[in-house]
Chains A and B, each alone.
Chain A
Amino acid sequence: MKEMVADGKIKETDNIVIKMEGINKSFSGVKVLTNVNFTLRKGEIHGLVGKNGAGKSTLMKILLGVETKDDGTIELYGRRDIQNRYEFIAMIFQELSLIPTLTVAQNIFLTNPSKKGRVFLDIKEDYRRAREVLERLKPDIKVDELVENLSIADKQVVEIAKALGQEKKIMIMDEPTTSFTANQMEAFFNIIRKLKNEGISIVYISHNLSDIFKVCDRVTVLRDGKNVCTSAIKDTTMETVIEKMTGSSSKSSEVVKFSFKDYCEDEQPLLEVQNLSFNNKFKNISFKLYPGEILGIAGLTGSGKTELLEAIYGIQPIDEGNIYVRGERVSSLTPQNSLKLGISLVPDERQVKGLVLIHSVSDNIVLPIIKSMKKGFFTSKRKILDTVKNMIEKLMIKVADVNQDVMNLSGGNQQKVVIAKSFSVNSNIILMDDPTLGIDVESKREIADIIKNFVKSGDNAVILVSSELEVLEGYCDRVLIMKKGEIVGEIKNTMSDRITEDKLMSLIQ
């Protein structure tokens, strides 16, 4: 591909490397892209934003040439006749394309290893070339290290090195920094700014608008498969972009506000955690959860919030500390015992920890309570059907029938099935780990209503961990701030002061 550029067959017109015009695409009669235009210049970082389902990934698949378009033109380096555009464009997902058991150098040159003669691999040459590439990005990554031993941020750098190793000058990055710490994020941004100065063009897809505003030159907003705008970052503001993404000028209409409640400190807490510590994941965690409360926990990835929730539920071991439910000490920390005590967990990574994807909606919902679904010795189909129908109605889960495989549901409906599992065991305390991540706005709103109704009776409570700070702002009257495994602060809604996304954002840094 270098050669093609070198002998002048591909020229760069006006520094525009990609020009997509009038792209249309429908899936089984449903229009997902309507007359979308998109251009990428040489040496630019171009943010692509939009809510889930706005058409970002379809547009990128069409750009790569792995999905067909119904209509429209695509010019790559001024040429329309290149079909296999993925050979020129690197797609960078989080960790996805690396092979963990191979070395950094082997990964970088997986498709184009150096050879001695025609047959033998030239490992030394690959090490040298890999070192050369990494020198530009992050010199402290060792080329002979196995990829599985790298941090997530370093893995991402290796992904980029791989693209550079293949001489690709265009990269699409899809949520590249999701599980990075703040420091890793800064280092990563420096790397991609450097790439930009070297003339690499980057499409940067992210839900995190502050990232977009930090690193991009231009931003394109998609909504319902249509371009809403493309604008230089310096000519726009985050508020404008949010407005264009949601299509509404008032942001708070999407969020359910709760009435302010003042918790009296002498009330019997539903759950109390004292000095909980485990390894270096979390230490000296103490807090109280009161009936009727949605207690938020905010923190960056790696702050230990997932581990803490899983420890309270009894999956993650602890070194020391105590948990009290309604004033009584919990003697054995196992999921079985937690469920008995009325504590359930809605785990993060719903497809990994929450659901048996190849099983039906019904089987998933009754799994934790299958013991109580008996009539005599046998399980009662009637009882199961009643329970499941009740849950489907209560949580507004959209299914064709209860025996449909969970695999075929949308993200939002899958999440509701996970929540239904917690509801079906009749818990008083539900621990939720990022329940709204990666689901559509409609389901988000419905889940907010569900949580709200759950605590309304005053007997129940929820601990809500979320990486989406606007969710914590909208749901909680009290939020604990976690940093590097410790609770470093707490903010509350009071008469004079309200929890806001901005405050949370600055507190967790």
Chain B
Amino acid sequence: MDFKEVTGENRFLKALQKNIVYVVFLTIFIFFSLVLRGKFLSYSNLMNIARQTSIYSIMAIGMTFALSAGEIDLSLDSVIALTAMVTAVVLRDFGIVLGVLAGLGTGLAVGSFNGIIVAKLKVPSFLVTLTTLEIVAALARWITNLKTIPISNDTYNFIFGSGDIGPIPILFLWLILFLVIGYIALKRIPFGLKLLATGGNERAAIFSGIKTRKIKMIALIISAVGASIGGILYAGRLHGARYTLGQGTVLSVIAASVIGGTSLFGGKGTVIGSVIGAVMIGMVNNGLILMGLSVAQQMFFRGLILLIAISINVHLQTRRI
């Protein structure tokens, strides 16, 4: 027999497996809409969520590439901080263009460093990026001696942070741009399939003539550049940079990707899912604040909700239907 019989229950589970992120998303959305009648569903609040979650979403898109290739990037937090610092300093002295390029260069440099060690020396990315997390965090403290650098360039702050075009936050437009780029890279060009195959079964990919080390390196560069874009946007949104920027981000970003349907074990990834996962987390943050919970309570419930969402998702993913 070639195929398992597809029973009604199977079909339902399959559909659920495929669309679980939407189900969880809607459940939370409806929950907050009912509990926080008026407050949650207002236009200004929804735009607020869009503003708050855009940066996370962009970084989750980057992370999707690392995870899909079977790798992980834990250095995210410090890349955000260092990028923001570098951008702020260069911007102050040499203007916007060089500032932004220096910021992107920071991500490129850290990502290449991670990638080379992972690809050439075959050290697990978990260890490599956990170590660069510390090294890069040190650099972020070092370059300004722990000082905060304010950004007074209004053009920069408008384009890369707090601006609105008509009714739409500019951050949201950045998100759309990177979502399109990410989607194309993962699903519509040969690179995406090579990346997923590398994460899905590296040996089979090598036998199929794919240079898997190069692919892994690029994946880690993409995730680091994603983090540096995050750093650039944070600096613009907060009108300045500080070495503490980005702390605690990596958990939410990985959670967003996983909730969205990207596999922690590689081979499966979706940038749209990651964005929805990120928006979902943003929605939870927002909802918990509006409910009037204390900071400690917010942390507690956010952690709990993330754990439940991730568990449901991973369970359904690994279950063979």
Contact = CB atoms under 8 A, between A and B. Distances in A.
Interface in A75-122: none
A374 B189 CA distance: 8
A354 B204 contact: yes
B184 A413 contact: no
A356 B207 contact: no
Contacts of B307: none
A352 B1 contact: no
Contacts of B190: 370-371, 373-374, 379
Interface in A399-427: 399-400, 407-410, 413, 421
Interface string A303-335: 000000000000100000000000000000001
B203 A353 contact: yes
A421 B208 CA distance: 8
Interface in B1-35: 1-5
A378 B192 CA distance: 11
A370 B268 contact: no
A433 to B, nearest CB: 10
Nearest to A344: B209
A76 B208 CA distance: 50
Interface string B182-206: 0010001110011011001101111
Contacts of B205: 356, 367
Contacts of B208: 335, 367-368, 421
Interface in A275-318: 315
A358 B193 contact: no
Nearest to A425: B209
A346 to B, nearest CB: 9
A363 interface: yes
B26 to A, nearest CB: 25
A187 to B, nearest CB: 32
A339 B189 contact: no
B267 to A, nearest CB: 5
Contacts of B196: 356, 359, 363
B209 A368 contact: yes
B211 interface: yes
Nearest to B190: A370
Contacts of B268: 358
Of residues A30, A338, A355, which shows the largest number of chain B Cβ atoms within 10 Å of its Cβ?
A: A355
A353 B4 CA distance: 25
A356 B207 CA distance: 11
B184 to A, nearest CB: 7
Contacts of B139: none
B189 A377 contact: yes
Contacts of A347: 207
B237 to A, nearest CB: 33
Interface residues of A, number: 37
Given A356-B267, A379-B188, A410 B204 contact: no
Contacts of B194: 367, 370
A228 B255 CA distance: 57
Contacts of A368: 208-210
B262 to A, nearest CB: 13
Interface string B254-296: 0000000001000110000000000000000000000000000
Given A356-B200, A359-B200, A409-B2, A345 B189 contact: no
Interface string A22-58: 0000001010000000000000000000000000000
Interface in B292-309: none
B197 A339 contact: no
A399 B2 CA distance: 8
Contact of A335 (B5, B201, B207, B267): B207
B119 to A, nearest CB: 16
A358 B2 contact: no
Given A363-B197, A379-B189, A413 B2 contact: yes
A359 B200 CA distance: 8
Nearest to A380: B188
A356 B197 contact: yes
A407 B206 CA distance: 19
A482 interface: no
B188 A335 contact: no
A142 interface: no
Contact of A358 (B200, B207, B211): B200
A69 interface: no
B2 A339 contact: no
A74 B43 CA distance: 70
Identify which of B3, B194, B204, B205 gathers the most chain A CB atoms within 10 Å of its CB. Answer: B204
Given A354-B207, A366-B193, A379-B189, A359 B267 contact: yes
A408 B4 contact: yes
Contacts of A367: 193-194, 197, 205, 208, 210
A193 interface: no
B211 A336 contact: yes
A345 B188 contact: no
Nearest to B211: A336
Nearest to A359: B200
A398 interface: yes
Nearest to B200: A356
B201 A355 contact: yes
B99 to A, nearest CB: 30
Contacts of B211: 336
A315 B204 contact: no
Contact of B204 (A353, A371, A377, A408): A353
Nearest to B184: A378
B258 to A, nearest CB: 16
5 contacts: A352-B201, A353-B207, A377-B189, A398-B2, A421-B208
Given A354-B204, A359-B267, A363-B196, 7 more contacts: A315-B207, A358-B201, A363-B193, A367-B194, A367-B210, A370-B194, A378-B184
Interface of B: 1-5, 184, 188-190, 193-194, 196-197, 200-201, 203-211, 263, 267-268, 320
Interface of A: 28, 30, 315, 335-336, 338-339, 345, 347, 352-359, 363, 366-368, 370-371, 373-374, 377-379, 398-400, 407-410, 413, 421
Nearest 8 A/B pairs, CB to CB: A356-B200, A370-B190, A335-B209, A356-B201, A368-B208, A367-B208, A339-B209, A378-B188
